[in-house]
Each structure stands twice: as structure tokens, then as C-alpha cells.
Structure 1
Amino acid sequence: MNSSKIDVPILMRWKVSKEEIQKQFQLNSYIAKIVYPKEFPDIKYCLSITNEENEIYVSFGFLMREPKIIKANYKISIPTKNYVRNFSEKIFYEDGDSYINFKCSFEEFFDPANGYFIDDYISITMEGIMTFEKEKEICDNFEIKCSTNMDEILYNRDDKDFEIYCKNGNSVKVHKIIISAKSYVFDTMIHSSFKESNESKVLIPDFDLEIIEIAIKFCYGISIANDELNVLNGIKLLQFSDKYDICDLK
């Protein structure tokens, strides 16, 4: 088997209460949030908060079924404390590998005067790219496909009944039935008494037209081209899929 390098956007938003952290510390020395990428079931990534010898550590790491070299470039932020730090070329070799990305004393962490918690909650955000080698499977099977690309035919029809605008006024027209089937958020928006349902349009100010178009084409079943999926677009598409609950795109 040959191998190929794969770049995968990673994104995590973790909001956890002071009460839950302290409760877990009574049982274990740590509390963790784990993300399970659907496309790669043998790899998981996680953030953890650990209490060790009166020191608090926030760490990022990987859990994997088999040893694998994973390289990661990522950013961790704690908005409640205005803490932001970038980490480059971190390499993970085996199950449980992690790096300490932030530390402070136990007293400092839980002292209300230091502002780690707002309304008794702390928020930690992590985003970046993980890179690893994946074996290519060589298969002799073949498939028979219809020569008519129904996804593109449907996307190019003129009977679309919903419009998505970005902040500069440009828009993408879609079929309600398509985006309702792919996104619970859009489905709720369309089949409700919301303004968007009555006007058959919605403004999405935090994503540009290119990202909206790529995501909508994906909803129609149109593949994302390699030249559209650079690192920046990958992160934005991950954020879009997370916000609008498009599970298979995420």
C-alpha cells in the first residue's frame, strides 16, 4: 500500500463550569473533552484540565488505536482570561501523547479575582490543522455510475426558493428542501415563524460568499475541489458546519 499526507482541520470549543471541574477533581486528577472525527475513527483529539501537585495544566493531545506520527499546528485561547497562544510543529507519536499549553497555580485558577471564570464558567477554544500519513487502499473493484450529474442539474435549476446573503450583499440561492435536509439549524429556521421563514432569505454576516457557496454545493452533493480546500478555507468550512450543524461536512 502507498501512503499519502492528509491535512485535517481541527476545532474545539469547550465551556465547562467551575462546579464540574471541582467535582471531577474529587474523583480524578483531570477532566477532559474528547472529539471523535467521524472520518478517522482511529484518531481522537482532546483538551484536558489537570490538577497535579497544586498546579493546574491545560493540555492538548491525541488518542489513537495504533502508534501514528501526527504533526499539529494549532492555537489555544482562553477568552475569559484574554489568553492566546500559537503552537507550531508539535509532533505526537503514540496514544495519550499531549503537550502542556497553559499552567498556573490551583489557587490562582480558582480565585474569582483572576477572571478565569465568568458566571462560574471557563471557555477554552482550540483550532488548527493536524497532518498525518494515511495508507491508500488499492482496490480492483469498479462501479457503474449514471452519466447524468443530478446534483449539478439540481443546483443549476432556476426554481430555488430561499436566498442566503453575506455581509457585502451578494447571495446564493438554494432549495429549501436541500438545506433543510442537510442542516437542522436551517430546517428550524425555514419551518418556523422566524423572519427568515416569512421572507425566504437569511443574512450570514460572519462568512464570505466563497465559503457559503462551497458549503451549499456540498449540500447538493457536489464535491469540493482541491483548489478550494486550502488550510484557511478548511478551518472556515469546519466553523460553518459546526455553526449550522452540517454533520457530514464537519
Structure 2
Amino acid sequence: MDSNINETMFCFPIALEWTIAEERLKALKDLNENEFLESERFTAIHSSDVKYFLRIYPNGNNVANRGKTWTLYFLDLGKEIKIEAEYQFSIKSANWIFKSNRVFKEFDGWGPTCCTTDELFDPRKKFIVDGKFTLKLEGILKIKKVETNNEMGFLQTKLKWINNLWNIGFEDFTIVTSDGKELKVHKNILAAQSPVFAAMFKPHTKEAMEGKAEIPDFSFKIVEKSIKLCYNHDFDPDTSIDESFVLFKFAEKYDIQLLKDDIQDYLADKIDISNLCEIAQRAIDENAVKLRNKCMDSLSSFLSKKKFVPNMEVLDKTFFIAAIKNSSCHTCETL
């Protein structure tokens, strides 16, 4: 592999058991317009809004497939560009299993024929038992994240020109922090990233006329780090989890979206099994939605692998229950 390329593979489990009443299937048995039944839709990856669902076509999904029953797995990629899927269909009562691998690059459905239409309703084949047909899907979704050192260097070069403004002088505004210290800044840099600061800098405001504003809730250290990140977006890799959340509070209060995203991405990269619950609960408390979704994906993945996750007792009950559901086999019925 090229030394300038870093690849990481992330895996997300999926599982769904769908029960359908025989009468609902019979209603489509003799129709020739590619009619189907569809399951509920479930989220597989919360951080990128990837969803999946099933369809069954009792009498085929096109003219060529007429007279056969087809089961299809659909994947909505959300914010992802490419997903590798390994999955298995099964109908336990009929002792039927189908395994497949597929790469999804757009919203698509894929799956096998499980039997002929006549076999579907033949009691000897046991696809339908006690008036119900039950189809199960199990699988793993794989997403490869690729980062090149060349791209990172290019971005750092671009940011260097903005970063140079940090020490170049010509500041035109003063911020007074909670510990009484003053920080000189450029109004244009802050106004471009924060609608709160932009409103503060309008000519008629007290702050604009005095050329200064007080920030009583944050220390000089936090304000300086936060505002410097508005210049270069270069996060210090030694920033602690505690300090990161204080920085997020600052970004939230002054509505600095790029900084909020940067901090959540930084904390998401810090997640491991030992600190997951701490980060998740603080993300919930601070309404860091992007980070909370990443924590949900991580917790669901750990639980599905039956790994012990410490400190789960600190988690918000609703969040914890949702993670349990996501790590379990979903069920839905069409009756």
C-alpha cells in the first residue's frame, strides 16, 4: 500500500426478522405489476444516516422473474459514498439460506429468489407456517475511510495563509475573558464563522462602539484556544476530553459551527471502549448531536460483539435502550 495512504475499516452489524401474514402475500400472488410488500426502515449507522429495509415480491420483480418469489435487501447510503455489505437471508422453517457480498455505491436493492410462487404457498415446502412467513436478514456493513498524507499536507498549506493572520497584527477588536485578561482579534475572522459575533460587531451595538466585549463565562485559555481554532482549525492532539467539552460549550454559545464540527470529530476519534460512556453522556448533556450519533454507533457495535463496556450505568436511559435495540435483531410485522 502507498505509504501516503491511511485506511481504516469500520464495521456495523445489521439484523432484521420480518414476519408477514399469508393473506398479505396471497393478495399479490396473481398480480403482474411487480407488486411488493416492504418492511419498516431501520438505521444501521446513525453518524451518517445509513438505513436499510426489505422487500418481497411474491410474483417476481419484473417480467423475466414472473412466477418466482424474490426477497431484496435495500440500502440507503445516507452520507456515505461506498458500503461493502456481507449478508445472509434465511427462512428457518424451510431450511433456506442465501449468503451474498455486494458493494453499494448508490441507493439500491439486491437479493435472491427463495422459491417459485407456487412453492411459497405449498405447505409441504414450509415457507409459510401457521399462516405466517418469516424472513431473517443478518449481516455486516463495512466502510473504508481513506486519508492521504498528501491531502493533509495540501489542507495544511491552504490553512497556513489564514493561520498567519493570528500573529500578523492589525487586530481590530478586544475580548475580555472571565479572568480579566484581554485578547486581540480580527472581527472579520470571527464574524465569518459566528453569527453571534457578527451581530455583536454591527455599528449600533455597545460592543462595536467600545471596540471590546466581555466573555464572563470562559477563561483566557479557553477563549484563546477557541478563537485560534477559528483561524487554523488545527486541533492540538494533546487536548483532553474535559477541555474539549469546554471548547465545545464556547463554540455552542457563540454558534461557531465549524468549530463544533471540529471538536466533535476530534472527540469521535478519541472514542475507545474505556471512555465511550463518559464521552457519550457528555455529548448527550451538551447536545453534541454528531458526536452522540457516533457514540451510539460505537456502543451498538460493542454490544453486538458481546464486549463488556464499562460505566454503562452513567448513560441516559433513553440512549442506552436505543443502543440495546440497535445491537439486537430488529423485528417488524406485516399482518
- Cα distance in 2 for partners of 1:20, 1:90 equals 29
Which residue of the partner structure matches residue 144 of structure 1? 246
Which residue of the partner structure matches residue 225 of structure 1? none
| CA deviation map 1:63-111 (0-9, x unaligned) | 2346722111122210111112322x32112112x22233321111112
Shift of the alpha carbon at 1:40? 4.2
Q: Within the alignment, does 1:121 sit opposite 2:207 as a pair?
A: no
Shift of the alpha carbon at 1:119? 0.9
Which amino acid in 2 is paired with 1:220? V
Q: Report if the CA contact (8 A) 1:7-1:131 is conserved.
A: yes
Which residue of the partner structure matches residue 43 of structure 1? 50
- Cα distance in 1 for partners of 2:103, 2:327 equals 27
- Cα distance in 2 for partners of 1:243, 1:73 equals 16
Which residue of the partner structure matches residue 181 of structure 1? none
Q: Report if the CA contact (8 A) 1:60-1:101 is conserved.
A: no
Count of paired positions = 166
- Cα distance in 1 for partners of 2:28, 2:80 equals 29
Q: Within the alignment, does 1:13 sit opposite 2:17 as a pair?
A: yes
Q: Report if the CA contact (8 A) 1:14-1:123 is conserved.
A: yes
User: Normalising to structure 2: TM-score of the pair?
Assistant: 0.41
The structure-2 alpha-carbon separation of the partners of 1:217 and 1:102, relative to structure 1 and needing over 3 Å to count, comes to farther
Which amino acid in 1 is paired with 2:23? E
The structure-2 alpha-carbon separation of the partners of 1:211 and 1:131, relative to structure 1 and needing over 3 Å to count, comes to closer
- Cα distance in 2 for partners of 1:217, 1:67 equals 31
SS state at 1:114 partner: coil
Q: Report if the CA contact (8 A) 1:67-1:95 is conserved.
A: no
Q: Within the alignment, does 1:29 sit opposite 2:35 as a pair?
A: yes
Of 78, 97, 117, 1:106 maps to: 117
Of 211, 228, 234, 2:306 maps to: 211
Shift of the alpha carbon at 1:132? 1.9
The structure-2 alpha-carbon separation of the partners of 1:79 and 1:238, relative to structure 1 and needing over 3 Å to count, comes to farther
Q: Report if the CA contact (8 A) 1:47-1:60 is conserved.
A: yes
Q: Report if the CA contact (8 A) 2:48-2:79 is conserved.
A: no
Q: Report if the CA contact (8 A) 1:6-1:131 is conserved.
A: yes
Which residue of the partner structure matches residue 61 of structure 1? 74
Which residue of the partner structure matches residue 314 of structure 2? 220
Which amino acid in 2 is paired with 1:90? R
The structure whose residues are more often strand, as a share, is 1
Gaps (5+ residues) in structure 2?
Answer: 1-5, 61-65, 148-154, 156-228, 236-243, 248-274, 279-304, 317-322, 331-335
| CA deviation map 1:171-227 (0-9, x unaligned) | xxxxxxxxxxxxxxxxxxxxxxxxxxxxxxxxxxxxxxx93743x7434349xxxxx
Which residue of the partner structure matches residue 242 of structure 1? 328
Q: Percent identity?
A: 20
Shift of the alpha carbon at 1:28? 5.8
For the aligned residues, what is the CA RMSD? 4.0
The structure whose residues are more often helix, as a share, is 2
Of 61, 72, 85, 1:72 maps to: 85
SS state at 1:29 partner: coil
Q: Report if the CA contact (8 A) 1:13-1:126 is conserved.
A: yes
Which residue of the partner structure matches residue 172 of structure 1? none
